[in-house]
Structure 1
């Protein structure tokens, strides 16, 4: 438990809710209980619709419900309430929180788990970032994701994707889908959607242009529109690919992406706890990177689309959905089979944390090398 007599205030701020966000939050909250910030009763009673004023910690919860202007108000609100740490698992919130605190004399720590901390104004590189910012990056491997289209259908020639211009995460993903798709010899058509109502028009335009599959980037807007996209791709008889494993439960034909969001929440809590008790200075920490790629296939959707999933793709699948049943004991809210903390004493946990965090320390040599790489890329 924190050695400070002052009760820390931790703000969980997010753009929207999703299964990966819930998993990461659970990893953080379970860890906070293990560290002694939360009692078992407090942990069991947590409802993310309400703030928690616990015996040893204050937890503030804010959710923008996909409304970007609300994020500015939420960040301002938790700053006014004296947040010592802002935790976020969404790029939009991290961007606004970093910008809002960049020039503060004594800013709160901002900890994140984001697929795109770079190219979004949050950090320049693993070690070159604002001193009050740290976190972990669940790496979304587009190099593994996009080729699944060809693995499923070696004769495919045209794919379509949807970009939202005001979402940096969408722009980056769309660029990678286009670059990798074209390197595979595919024609990649891109349509734009700026609102939920636009998504169906964007998808229809792609399908009318001959797209033989829709391949989505990470994008909260298209995630919201999944039912519409499933309906349209079923009508046209083409596959729908999504970059989040849980999307398979919402009807995506193939869902593929990072697997391990619960552990991302645990990593964020490790940094958080060490920061609060003074074991680390987050200015000296590099951004941690996690790698874990999973593939899920919805055979029910494929059947409705008139698509036969290739044996090669099925052989790679982490799990499948068939006849409404989910393999590997996976539920619609969980894309991981095991999401629990390792049992260990507080002394063992602290020793493990210190060993882990020591591996994240930035050296002058690392910073210099990364700066050279950044300068060369300009």
Structure 2
């Protein structure tokens, strides 16, 4: 079922935006599609929009107006702005709509949106460019076969998930722990991959790992009770839109039973996760997506010749308020690894170095930005040798 807020926004767009928005040849029309306004997605969104302003596509007034998520008929660009509100069927509607409007480029945030957009345009004779951000599993979801073996109209950036650094934190917090649990949504590829990695890594550490399934918010209570019934001493989440949306519910349940909640998205600490650890450079991922978009719109690159970017970062954050509610004392060893903590509702620096200012990239002059772009794009060039090597690896894996 299409959610009412999305339907209303689409109807308003049809009423308020002239039918010819995508027909103005003097300026490009960019469709901006995202799955939901979670903290990581919001950071990536800000990175994209701030960069579009820095490149001169958006004026300061236009950038400020976009904070309200309306479509824009701008001086230098038209934007079609859509958010599915965690409703997967609505993503199909969004993609169909912007294709009907003739978007020149589609910027997608999260795996679900990118996968649907790529599949919808794969067989088109003249597809719009698709630039994706925050796609954690581009290869297992069919978006691409390898970084340089992909549809010619597709490029993007992949945040690498550091499960090998994330899962062992449970033993740093509690060296005597015996069993952990995780929640898997079978309809979410990132969740399935994450639960598999958590299971493999947990078992390699000598832990028993229990998995419970959940496909909607109402399932979370049953999933947690199932895990607790099997004796788990901590819940370790994977990347999953459902558990991200349901973090407050999970925090309440774990507080009732006195076990910690681990989350792989560092921003989840603000929503109450006891320990959140993982990739944190979401703003930068938006900057990278905008960099690829600008290079495409300015004619500097052919997306077919650009590899999918990979980004790495890892940070640890601890919510001491949640730990107190759960009756848990955070170990000194884990506190020593924290980049920041939440205490009395406020962020404070941890023992490890803070994560810095994500907006620093916006302090560059345009000349500095363009020079950095050229260096960045040169490192992503798909040479014939790289393509041949990747194809040979794929052939060997199939054989």
Q: Give the TM-score taking structure 1 as reference length.
A: 0.95
Look up the match of 1:56: 76
Matches within 5 A, 1:126-145: 126-145=147-166
Indicate the larger mover: 342-351 or 268-277: 342-351
Structure 1: distance between partners of 2:173 and 2:331: 5
CA contact (8 A) 1:165 1:192 kept: yes
2:117 to 97, 108, 127: 97
Distance verdict in 2 for CA 1:13–1:105, change over 3 Å: same
Look up the match of 2:144: 123
Distance verdict in 2 for CA 1:273–1:185, change over 3 Å: same
Structure 2: distance between partners of 1:50 and 1:356: 31
Look up the match of 1:332: none
Matches within 5 A, 1:22-171: 22-113=42-133, 114-171=135-192
Structure 1: distance between partners of 2:234 and 2:356: 27
Q: Give the TM-score taking structure 2 as reference length.
A: 0.90
Matches within 5 A, 1:228-239: 228-239=249-260
C-alpha deviations, 1:240-276, integer Å up to 9, x for none? 0011111111111100111111111111111101100
Q: CA deviation at 1:87?
A: 0.8
Instruction: Please tell me whether residue 262 in structure 1 is matched to residue 283 in structure 2.
Output: yes
Q: CA deviation at 1:228?
A: 1.4
The structure with higher relative contact order (CA 8 Å, sep 6+) is 1
CA contact (8 A) 2:51 2:362 kept: no
Look up the match of 1:222: 243
2:391 to 371, 375, 378: 371
Tell me the secondary structure at the aligned position of residue 252 of structure 1. coil
Look up the match of 1:290: 311
Structure 1: distance between partners of 2:357 and 2:368: 25
Structure 1: distance between partners of 2:87 and 2:257: 31
Tell me the secondary structure at the aligned position of residue 135 of structure 1. strand
Instruction: Please tell me whether residue 271 in structure 1 is matched to residue 261 in structure 2.
Output: no
CA contact (8 A) 2:284 2:358 kept: no
Count of residues in correspondence between the two structures: 370
Q: CA deviation at 1:158?
A: 0.6
Distance verdict in 2 for CA 1:376–1:156, change over 3 Å: farther
Matches within 5 A, 1:242-253: 242-253=263-274
Q: CA deviation at 1:47?
A: 3.1
Tell me the secondary structure at the aligned position of residue 43 of structure 1. helix
CA contact (8 A) 2:54 2:362 kept: no
